[in-house]
Structure 1
Amino acid sequence: MVTTGHWIDSSWKLQKRVLSFVHIPPPRRGVEISDAIFKCLKEWGIENKIFTISVDNASNNDVAIRLLKDTFSMSKNLVCAGKLFHVRCCAHILNLMVQDGLSQIVDITDNIRESIEFVNRSDGRLLLFADIFKKVFPRFRDREPHYDCCPSEEDWVKVVKVCNILETFWATTQIISGSDYPTSNLFLQEIKRVKLVLDNGVNDEDDFIRAMVRKMKTKFDKHWGECNLLMAVAAILDPRQKMKAVEFYFPQLFPSNEAQENISKVTTVLFEFYDEYVAANDHDH
């Protein structure tokens, strides 16, 4: 398990360092993960300075974070009583959604990958492939008797449609995976982009695309059906967006009654966050 620390230094520069790289033997339950993280924080002397922890989406990670939250709560070191403590890795959620989408065309992608591997297995095939590059796979099949995984014309049409959808996921993953610049303030607008692609795909004329997108949308609703408080606060703290960020994006991400409820929830946490900050930095008391 690798643990990385992210912080802003005294010169207001975003910093990132690997804090530990340790082997956790099986069964790697939440309690072992929690112990390994806490040991690392103790060794660095930062156990009282942790704001939030971001992990992949796995049940053992959920348990680990719950245990850590309980530990930190005892010393009352968590901001907003731990409401902002656990953050699910956004890039991992996007990856899970993409895997769900690709599972719908696993036969096609297997054929395409096998076709590439087949051509690459010998220099003779590569030369032949280069010779007939236009309409290459069907013609290659005609000349190569052992090639039996040729994608059909319909397969290619499906792949192009899937690639158009996944392009948005790729772009969003690139943006929110950056570690040399702040990314949490970009979360709302990027997730809105993803939701728009999924909403459009649900009404696609192609049954195949509709089925694929429905599966991806289920994963989207599972992980982002609830308001992500930390990301919402980060968007508000971006001086270009402020409260307009949640007022604009929430009605597009949530049903109308939930949107207003979530805006109120975020506002409450923001004020709570501010009050704690003032109390911690009030040198007159």
Structure 2
Amino acid sequence: MCLTAHFMNSEWILQKRILNFYSLPPPYTGVSIADAIFHCFSDWGIESKVSTITLDNASSNDSAVRYLKYSFSRISKLFFKGKIFHVRCCAHILNLMVQDGLHEIKDVIQNIRESVKYLKMSISRLHNFAEIAKQVNISVPRHLVLDVPTRWNSTYAMLESALIFRDVFPRYGDRDNNYVWLPSDLDWEKAENVCKILEVFHDASNVFFGVSYPTSNLFLPEIWKVKQILNKKSVEFAETHYLKSMVDRMKSKFEKYWGQCNLLMSIAAVLDPRFKIKLIEFSFPKIYPAQEADKNIRYVIDSLYELYAEYVASNAVSNDKDEDKVKGEASNSVSTHIKGKTKGRSDFDIWAKQMDKVEPSKSDLDVYLEEGIYLCGNDEEFSALNWWKNKTLQFKLLSKMARDILSIPVSTVASESAFSAGGRVLDQYRSSMKPETVEALICTGDWLRSEYGLAISEVGLQRDEESMQEVHLE
């Protein structure tokens, strides 16, 4: 079990640290998973700092979240009353959707898969295939890709590359009598239609499966595009049985996981200055029926103001503590310094604190939403984190809220990448290490790479662990 913490350092740079690479003994029930996670939290002393937890969609994980949510509610106040405590991995949901759809059309791609497999089993066959491709004037820098059936994106890559060489396969068949899996024209037509559907999922997966995990504001635009293409293709291919069944299975899975309003992705999208409420008003009617869309828009707006009110209340408590501290310092300074030298400054500090407590006519959130959306050029590399970093003085409270929301991971890709290191840690020469030793190697390697990695600025790396005010775990 890999437990990864996500947080923002003082320089507004996203941080990721593997806290535990834990050997979890069976049985793998929700209770045992919750106990193991809570044990790791206790070792680190961060039980009261966990705001969200991101998991894939296994039933045991759902049970574990229920136990953890109850445990955390007994220790401290849950972030946003626990409304977004459990974050479901978007990458996993996307994979389930496409796998269900591909299961309906497995016969469509069978001949293409067997053809590619036959060619890639022999270098001489590939050489002959390449020579024929030159004869038919196909000189694109591409090659055939053999898919892994359990990875849908590799299936898309296989179909996409095979379609480029569709005119080469029959000519190769004329030269090799052992080649018996030649796709028909109908097979190629079906594969082309399937690729049109999978293309939008592929574009979304490029966001979901980012090596440096993306901020949560980027996901809603991809989600509504997926629903839009499913609705469109469901009507377009109403008379085509194999595609209709594929799209319907995908839509069914979409409704199961994203049929209800995803509050985290919606609030994160509003906190992107390029989108604000406009994206919600634009995309929800495309995702939900008319009445349900209006209801969900109102739900997002109400939740946004409710969350902001929590930050206002928290800031008021913080100001009261600061005021008591200033008063204490003022009384001490009067008794220990020449009368009048510091009294004026202390009185001003107390007055300034009181003025800060007076609520303005419009809140940060009202001002932000009333401003126009930020328009950036197509070639401009926009970062929501940098935008909010530059707006911290203008939006003192709202920037804190954006800091916490945008740092929440919406996929478990960052954690799952740790398992890719297994072959490097446990190889043929080091295959009998204790679980504690493996954990030490994985965690130490991750922390050192984060400390000295080229992608992370050295300026914000001083005592990152002290800035873990809101920790998001998966």
Question: Which TM-score applies when normalising by structure 1?
Answer: 0.92
Task: Give the conservation status (yes or no) of the 8 Å contact 1:108–1:151.
Answer: no
Q: After superposition, what is the alpha-carbon deviation per residue over 1:61-81, rounded to whole angstroms, capped at 9, x for unaligned?
A: 111111111111112331122
Distance 1:123 1:237 in 2: 53
Distance 2:46 2:70 in 1: 17
Unaligned runs of 5+ in 2: 137-166, 321-474
Q: After superposition, what is the alpha-carbon deviation per residue over 1:104-160, rounded to whole angstroms, capped at 9, x for unaligned?
A: 221233332222221122233233323333533233334333323222221111111
Corresponding residue to 2:275 among 237, 241, 246:
241
How far 1:265 moved relative to its partner? Answer: 1.9
Q: Which residue of 1 aligns with 2:285?
A: 251
Distance 1:182 1:99 in 2: 23
Q: Which amino acid aligns with 2:255?
A: D
Residues 235/123 of structure 1: CA separation in 2 closer, same or farther (3 Å cut): closer
How far 1:234 moved relative to its partner? Answer: 0.9
Task: Give the conservation status (yes or no) of the 8 Å contact 1:49–1:77.
Answer: no
Q: Which residue of 1 aligns with 2:43?
A: 43
**Structure 1 SS opposite 2:10:** coil
Residues 36/225 of structure 1: CA separation in 2 closer, same or farther (3 Å cut): same
Distance 1:130 1:243 in 2: 52
1:273 partnered with 2:273? no
Q: Which amino acid aligns with 1:254?
A: Y
Distance 2:47 2:181 in 1: 55
Task: Give the conservation status (yes or no) of the 8 Å contact 2:207–2:214.
Answer: no
- Structure 1 runs of 4+ aligned residues shifted over 6 Å read none
Q: Which amino acid aligns with 1:67?
A: Y
Q: Which amino acid aligns with 1:194?
A: V
**Structure 2 SS opposite 1:243:** helix
Q: Which amino acid aligns with 1:269?
A: S
Task: Give the conservation status (yes or no) of the 8 Å contact 2:57–2:93.
Answer: yes
Q: Which amino acid aligns with 1:256?
A: A
Q: Which amino acid aligns with 1:163?
A: C
Q: 95-104 or 182-191: which moved more?
A: 182-191
**Structure 1 SS opposite 2:19:** strand
Q: 182-191 or 154-163: which moved more?
A: 182-191
Q: Which amino acid aligns with 1:8?
A: M
Q: After superposition, what is the alpha-carbon deviation per residue over 1:204-233, rounded to whole angstroms, capped at 9, x for unaligned?
A: 243322221111111111111101111111
Distance 1:67 1:10 in 2: 32
Q: Which residue of 1 aligns with 2:186?
A: 154
1:261 partnered with 2:295? yes
Distance 2:68 2:108 in 1: 44
Q: Which residue of 1 aligns with 2:168?
A: 136
Q: After superposition, what is the alpha-carbon deviation per residue over 1:163-182, rounded to whole angstroms, capped at 9, x for unaligned?
A: 11111111111123336364
Distance 2:121 2:319 in 1: 75
Indicate the percent of aligned positions where both proteins have the same amino acid.
Answer: 52
Distance 2:110 2:242 in 1: 17
Question: Which TM-score applies when normalising by structure 2?
Answer: 0.57
How far 1:8 moved relative to its partner? Answer: 0.7
**Structure 1 SS opposite 2:5:** strand
Distance 1:10 1:69 in 2: 28
Q: Which residue of 2 aligns with 1:208?
A: 242
How far 1:199 moved relative to its partner? Answer: 0.9
Q: Which amino acid aligns with 2:71?
A: T
Residues 144/15 of structure 1: CA separation in 2 closer, same or farther (3 Å cut): same
Q: Which residue of 1 aligns with 2:224?
A: 192
Residues 176/217 of structure 1: CA separation in 2 closer, same or farther (3 Å cut): same
Q: Which amino acid aligns with 1:274?
A: Y
Distance 1:180 1:119 in 2: 35
Q: Which amino acid aligns with 1:57?
A: N
Distance 2:234 2:58 in 1: 27
For the aligned residue pairs, the C-alpha RMSD in angstroms reads 1.9
Distance 1:13 1:124 in 2: 51
Q: After superposition, what is the alpha-carbon deviation per residue over 1:25-64, rounded to whole angstroms, capped at 9, x for unaligned?
A: 3431111221222222222222211111111111111111
Q: 137-146 or 185-194: which moved more?
A: 137-146
Task: Give the conservation status (yes or no) of the 8 Å contact 1:31–1:63.
Answer: yes
How far 1:22 moved relative to its partner? Answer: 2.0
Unaligned runs of 5+ in 1: none
Q: Which amino acid aligns with 2:301?
A: T
Distance 1:270 1:170 in 2: 31
Higher relative contact order (CA 8 A, sep 6+): 2
Residues 29/172 of structure 1: CA separation in 2 closer, same or farther (3 Å cut): same
Task: Give the conservation status (yes or no) of the 8 Å contact 1:176–1:183.
Answer: no
Q: After superposition, what is the alpha-carbon deviation per residue over 1:253-281, rounded to whole angstroms, capped at 9, x for unaligned?
A: 11122122222222232222122222223
1:171 partnered with 2:203? yes
Q: Which residue of 2 aligns with 1:87?
A: 87
